[in-house]
Structure 1
Amino acid sequence: MSIIEKLKWRYATKKFDANQKLSNAKLEILKEAFNLTALSYGLQTLKLVIVEDKDVRQSLVDIAYGQRQVVDASHLLVLCIQTEIDGEDVNSHFNTIKEIRNTPDAILEPFKAEMKSRIKNMHPDKKVGWASRQAYIALGNLMTVCAIEEIDSCPMEGFQPKELDEKLKLDQLGLNSILLLPVGYRDKDDMFAKFKKVRKQMSETVIEL
C-alpha cells in the first residue's frame, strides 16, 4: 500500500484481538519513532511508558472509563511529560549536542543561555501546556508510523490522569500522563474497521495561497 492508502486503512481501533502480540521488532520501531519525534528546541522532556503486563492493564480499565482497548491491545503506550522542566534539562540537551556533534562551546553557549532564560521565565501553567503539546506531536508521529507498519492503534484522552499516575507510580518518577495509545492488531469482529472514512472534501480543509 502507498502511504495514503495506509492512512486510509488506519482507524481508531475499538476492538483489539487480545491474542495477537506485537513482535519485539515492531515494538522497537515504535520506540525509535518516539525517540525521533520532532520536538520544540529538540528538548526531549517527554517519556514513553510501555505497559505490557495484562494484570496491570486490567487494573486501568476503570480509570479509562471502561475502554477495553487498554487491556485487549498488545501493549499500552502512555505518553508523559515531566512534572519539572528546568535549566538542567537544557544543560543535558546541550551536553548531548556537544557529545554527538562536537560543537564548540563558543557556538553553543549563547543558544543555551537564551533557552534557559525562556524556560526559567515561563509561567508554570504555560510550561505544562507547552510540554503537553509536544506529547500530541509524538502521538501523531506514532500513529503515522503505526499505519505504515500496519499496527492498529487508538489514541485516547478519555482517562483519569491522576489516578493512572498513582496506579503506575508515574508520580514517583516525576511524570504526568497526558495521552494513551493502545497498540496491537484489530479484531476481525470490529465492525468499525469496515466503515468508510468520513472526511470533508480536501477543498474544504486545505487553503492554497
Structure 2
Amino acid sequence: MNLLENLNWRYATKRMNGQRVPSDKVERILEAIRLAPSSMGLQPYTVLLIEDEELKKQIRSVAYNQPQIEEGSHLLVFAAWDDVTPAHIDEFISHTASERSIPVENLQDFKNTLLSTAERNTQEQNFNWTARQAYIAFGVGLVAAAAEKVDATPMEGFDAAALDKLLDLPAKGLRSVTLMPLGYRDADNDWLAKLPKVRRQKEKFVLEA
C-alpha cells in the first residue's frame, strides 16, 4: 500500500485482539520514531517500551480503564524532558561531534544558541517545548505503525501525574506526554472499526493564501 492508503486504513483502534506484534515490526516502528525530526535535532524525549502484563494492568488503572493498554501487545509511553539542562546540551553536542567526526569546539556557537534558548525560558516553558517535539515523533510513530499494518491508538486520556509516579519518571527527569498501544484490531468488538473515516473537507481544510 502507498502512504495515503495506509492512512486511510488506520484509525484510533478502540479494541484489540491480544495478538502479539512481531518484534521486527516493533523495531521498525521504534526506529522510525527515532529518525523523526525534532527542533535543532535535540530529541528532548524518551520512548518507554512496555510489554510486562502486570505493569500494563497498572497503567490501565490510571488511564480511565482503556482496554487497548492491556489488549495490545506493546505499549509505548512518550515522555518528554521536564527541562532542558546544560547537561542535556553537553551530551548532545558531544554526541554530534562524535557522529560527524569533528572537534567539539567547532560546535561552540551552536551550543551557545541552545544554552541561551533554554536559559531564557522557565522550566515549564521548556517542558511545553519538549512535549511538542515528542508529539512530532508520536505522529511519525502512528504513520510507521500503519505502514507495518499494526494498529495503534493515540491516547492522551490518562492521569499523567499518577503514571509518572508509577514509572518513576521524575527520577529520570521525564514527564509522560502520550501513550501508543500497539496491537491488532478486534473488529467484531470495536464499534469504530467499520465506520467511515471522517475528516474535514479538503476545501475547508486547505486554504490557498
TM-score (norm 1): 0.94
CA distance in 1, matches of 2:191, 2:88: 45
Gaps of 5+ in 2: none
Q: How far off is 1:107 after superposition? A: 3.4
1:72-127 C-alpha deviation (Å, 9 max, x unpaired): 11111100012232111111111111111123445311111121111122112211
1:60-209 equivalences under 5 Å are 60-189=59-188, 190-209=190-209
Matching residue of 1:40: 39
TM-score (norm 2): 0.94
CA distance in 1, matches of 2:198, 2:79: 30
- Would you say how many aligned residue pairs link Structure 1 and Structure 2? 208
Identical counterparts, % of pairs:
36
CA distance in 2, matches of 1:66, 1:94: 42
- Tell me, what secondary structure is at the counterpart of 1:77? strand
The alignment's C-alpha RMSD in Å is: 1.3
CA distance in 2, matches of 1:30, 1:87: 30
1:14-67 C-alpha deviation (Å, 9 max, x unpaired): 00011x111110111122112111011111221000110111111222210111
CA distance in 1, matches of 2:166, 2:124: 24
- Tell me, what secondary structure is at the counterpart of 1:4? helix
Distance change (3 Å), C-alpha of 1:66 and 1:105 = closer
CA distance in 1, matches of 2:167, 2:125: 26
The question of whether the paired residues in 1 share the 8 Å contact of 2:72 and 2:184 is answered with yes
Matching residue of 2:51: 52
The question of whether the paired residues in 1 share the 8 Å contact of 2:44 and 2:130 is answered with yes
Name the amino acid aligned to 1:26: K
Q: How far off is 1:201 after superposition? A: 1.6
Name the amino acid aligned to 2:159: Q
- Tell me, what secondary structure is at the counterpart of 1:182? strand
Gaps of 5+ in 1: none
The question of whether the paired residues in 1 share the 8 Å contact of 2:187 and 2:194 is answered with no
CA distance in 2, matches of 1:3, 1:128: 32
- Tell me, what secondary structure is at the counterpart of 1:61? helix
Bigger mean CA deviation after superposition, 29-38 or 71-80: 29-38
